Amino acid sequence: MQYILKTVALSLPVMVTFVDSVGYIARVDGTSMQPALNPNSGSEDYVFLSKWAVRDMYVQRGDIISLTSPKDPSQKLIKRIVGLQGDIVPTIGYKKPYVKVPPGHCWVEGDHTGYSLDSNTFGPVSLGLMTARATCIVWPPSRWGGVANEVPRKRQLVSLGKSKSSID
């Protein structure tokens, strides 16, 4: 029994450090990221969310990220980056038909247009709200593999700013 307690006492700080610094596995709920994630109704993907990948706020168009909702800080969202600072993005139902993404922000959308709480609802998102980047699908086994980093053709930009973004 003492061995088990010692093992737990030594491994717990290592696991906490790993989750806080490197990443963790999370379940993707809902249909907003279909077909990239949860392609079939009733199925749920589990993805590895890498905190390490966004530690310097360096992201690209097409990355799928986890972020804190700008409307409800207790809610986590998983969305695709469609536009970076300086980009001019066509919107869907937002208060303006086009938005120039301000410095230190990005434009995020779900792949399932119209079924997503995203920048078309709350506008550009501060890069400081990013918590992690989805790097691979870990469950179910039939979907193991990397997460595609591509902006859907129907969501192409009007004008490109910088090709990559980072907060200096």
Beta bridge partners of 68: 76
How many whole angstroms separate alpha carbon 80 and alpha carbon 166? 16
Q: pLDDT band at 113, cuts 50/70/90?
A: confident
Considering the chain, what is the average pLDDT of its residues?
85
Structure tokens at 161: 């700013």
Catalytic residue among 50, 51, 66, 79: 79
Predicted local distance difference test score (pLDDT) of residue 20? 66
CB 65 within 8 A of CB 81: yes
Contacts of 99 (CB under 8 A, 6+ apart): 83, 88, 89, 91, 107, 119, 123, 124
- Per the annotation, the verdict on 32 as an active-site residue is yes
Other Cβ atoms within 10 Å of 139 Cβ, number:
14
Sorted by where each starts, the structural domains of the chain and their CATH numbers stand as 23-162 (2.10.109.10)
Catalytic residue among 32, 50, 116, 165: 32
Better-predicted residue by pLDDT, 141 or 163: 141
Predicted local distance difference test score (pLDDT) of residue 140? 86
- Per the annotation, the verdict on 79 as an active-site residue is yes
Better-predicted residue by pLDDT, 161 or 31: 31
Distance of CA 161 to the CA centre of its chain: 20
